[in-house]
């Protein structure tokens, strides 16, 4: 691995030899390494079995967020796909610090400001990935249509293919799809979202600066992103208070929140199986009852 990483570092002009390389735990998709050369410290992701654009999509998402000038992301030094299914992504190394209340406040300010970076359409021109699953996009003028056609339905189809829809769950999802317009906003603006903002996808630097990592960025309704931050935790009360001081949530947010969380629950159902089935069913029960 050292020789492989050194070879790619040479391609970006760092010709010094690697002085230290350490595997980093925490990721469940890629191999990850801290790399120290004479010139620089790097965070390196490597995978032997990824699609030919997997890391490029991550790099593109980081660049989209960087361009908003609202919140920090690691610098992308290099991305390459090679061999049969191999890929490597070389990023700036961020020395981690405490996720204290001041950092949570700064994170909220950055995310809220990012959520005011408007686009012309909902979605994105190119498809990408959510975790290891394909995530389809496209450009839509209507948020409800985008959420149904490019978020919920693809996960429904995949769950059906994987045998993770019992007859009642399948029936209730179809029923929910037909009634989606009852709960979702018809006139919201498309703004840039991180797209996969759970507690593990932000870090604090040693000097107390929040960074977003591992995006699946696209343009959508900002409340969709906030709903996901509430699903698995990792965000303090200070984060939510500060966020709403800058970008208040609508009075309908609590009513539609679980409907937005449904997408990520379906993703987890497809990735990890029936462990998430009951959570999907609870959301269906809330919105349409049990048929």
Torsion of the alpha carbons at 38, 46, 196 and 271, rounded to the nearest 10: -160
Dihedral sign, CA of 259, 130, 23, 17?
negative
- β-bridge pairing 41-47 and 86-92: antiparallel
d(CA 46, CA 59): 13
Query: Quick check: 155 and 177 in contact, CB under 8 A?
Result: no
| E strand residue ranges, 119-166 | 122-124, 128-130, 133-135, 138-140
What long-range pairs does 250-254 form, CB within 8 A, spacing at least 24?
Answer: 250/185, 250/223, 252/183, 252/185, 253/223, 253/226, 253/227
* 196 catalytic residue (yes or no): yes
Query: Quick check: 61 and 217 in contact, CB under 8 A?
Result: yes
Of the residues 3, 20, 102, 196, which is catalytic? 196
What are the residue numbers of the active site?
196
């Amino acid at each position: 691995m050292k020789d492989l990483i050194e070879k790619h570092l040479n391609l970006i002009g760092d010709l010094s030899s690697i002085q230290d390389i350490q595997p980093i735990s925490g990721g469940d998709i890629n191999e990850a390494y801290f790399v120290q050369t004479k010139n620089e410290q790097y965070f390196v992701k490597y995978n032997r079995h990824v699609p030919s654009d997997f890391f490029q999509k991550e790099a593109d998402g980081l660049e989209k967020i960087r361009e908003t000038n609202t919140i920090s992301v690691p610098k992308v030094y290099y991305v390459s796909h090679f061999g049969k299914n191999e890929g490597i992504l070389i990023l700036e190394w961020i020395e981690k610090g405490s996720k204290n209340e001041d950092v949570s406040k700064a994170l909220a300010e950055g995310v809220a400001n990012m959520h005011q970076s408007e686009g012309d359409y909902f979605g994105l021109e190119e498809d990408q990935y959510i975790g290891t699953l394909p995530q389809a996009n496209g450009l839509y003028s209507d948020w409800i249509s985008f959420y149904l056609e490019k978020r919920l339905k693809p996960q429904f189809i995949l769950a059906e293919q994987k045998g993770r829809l019992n007859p009642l769950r399948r029936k209730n999802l179809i029923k929910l799809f037909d009634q989606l317009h009852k709960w979702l906003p018809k006139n919201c603006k498309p703004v840039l979202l991180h797209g996969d903002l759970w507690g593990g996808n932000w870090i604090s630097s040693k000097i107390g600066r929040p960074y977003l990592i591992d995006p699946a960025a696209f343009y959508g309704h900002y409340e969709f992103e906030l709903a996901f931050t509430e699903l698995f935790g990792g965000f303090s009360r200070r984060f939510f208070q500060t966020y709403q001081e800058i970008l208040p949530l609508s009075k309908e947010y609590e009513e539609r929140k679980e409907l937005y969380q449904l997408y990520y629950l379906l993703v987890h159902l497809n990735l990890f199986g029936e462990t998430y089935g009951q959570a999907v069913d609870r959301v269906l029960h809330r919105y349409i009852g049990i048929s």
